[in-house]
Structure formats: C-alpha cells, structure tokens
Amino acid sequence: MGDSMPRFSPLRDLPRPVLTIGREILRHVLKRPVVGLAVHLENERGEVLFIKRADTDTWALPGGTLEWGETFGEAFVRELREETGVRNAKLGNVIHVFSRPDRDPRFHAVTVLVRATLSGSVSESDLRAENPLEIREVKFFTPKDVPRPLAMTMDDFLAAAMSNQFSTNLE
C-alpha cells in the first residue's frame, strides 16, 4: 500500500527556475541550515570522481542540497546526474556528517558525506554536467593526483572518505 499511494507534492508542479529562486530566497530569509550531500564515488581502478566548479575554479566532490519534497536518495540520483552525468551509481554508507557554518559562503549547510559505487562502468564521454555554467569539468583522479586545495574546504571530506572508516561523530 505504501508505494501505491500518490505523494502530495504541489511544489513539483512549479517551473524549476521558480523553485530555484524561491529556495534561495527562503535560505536567506529563514536563516536556517540546509541539508546537503557530498558523494565519494570510486571507479573500478580506485579513482575518485570530482567536479570542477565554475564559481571557484576549484575541484570538489559532487553533491548539492536537497530540494523541498525530495528524499535523500532522490537528491543523490539527481545531483550525480546533474553534476557528472553518472546515472548508474548506487548509494552506499554514510561516511561522516559535516556542519561547520563557515565552509560555504553562500549558506550554512549540514552536509552528509556518502560512499557510492558504480553499477557497471562509465565512459569519459558520459562524464559531463547538465549545466556547464555551474560545473566546468568532470573527471576521475587517483587519490594522489587530486588537485588541492579542494573547493569549500572539502579536503577533510576526502580525508574522511579515504580513511575507510565509518564515523558516528558529528562535526
């Protein structure tokens, strides 16, 4: 019965640009933290997927913030598709939860870092962002070749992911 019931989501009927503008206005007006996710995705060669942000011209783990009415799993699928073109990833375990308010100058985010795995392979031609004005490049790097420093002080995100330990501590 749970899956057959339609979800009440009246905001999903609004055009995406209207929702995006409304979300940004509410973030600033309400002054509340947003929920974000960052994804540590390794390919079969042990390389980690990164995006090059257009606003800072630095590399970062892919991710973003949950949209109103969206589950964490839905945000995971959407953000990977939008930012990297990856459509065959499986959500894994939580690595760590980060909440430092000074990490992102736009807003205060509580970011859940998750591990993900590929179901199959991804060709380099598939790696492209839907919005090239936001994401300039998508690329896998070996851990030793990751360009530093990472955007939004994400170096500790990568360190947490590379430690291969589960964390129950909150930042």
> Tens of pLDDT along 67-84?
989 999 999 999 999 999
Return contacts of 23-32, CB within 8 angstroms, 24+ apart: 23/67, 23/68, 27/107, 28/107, 32/108
Structure confidence by residue, pLDDT tens digits, 86-99: 999 999 999 999 99
Is 171 contained in some domain?
no
12-51 confidence digits (pLDDT tens): 677 877 777 877 787 677 678 889 999 999 999 999 999 9
> What are the structure tokens assigned to 48, written together?
């980690």
**Domain with 148 in it: what CATH number?**
3.90.79.10
Would you give the end-to-end CA distance of the chain in angstroms? 38
* 169 domain-assigned: no
Domain assignment present for residue 167? The answer is: no
| Residue 63 within a domain | yes
Establish if 13 belongs to a structural domain. Answer: no
Evaluate whether residue 19 is within a structural domain. no
- Residue 17 inside a domain? The answer is no
Q: What residue numbers bound the domain in which 89 lies?
A: 33-162
Is residue 104 classed exposed, middle or buried when 0-12, 13-18 and 19+ CB atoms within 10 A define those classes? Answer: middle
Domain assignment of residue 75, yes or no: yes
Instruction: Give this prediction's pTM.
Output: 0.80
- Provide the 8-state DSSP code for 32: -
Classify strands 63-65 and 34-42 as parallel, antiparallel or unpaired.
antiparallel
* Residue at token pair 């079969």: 44
- Considering its fold, how many domains does the chain have in total? 1
DSSP assignments along 112-145, one per residue: EEEEEEESS---GGG---S-TTTEEEEEEE-GGG
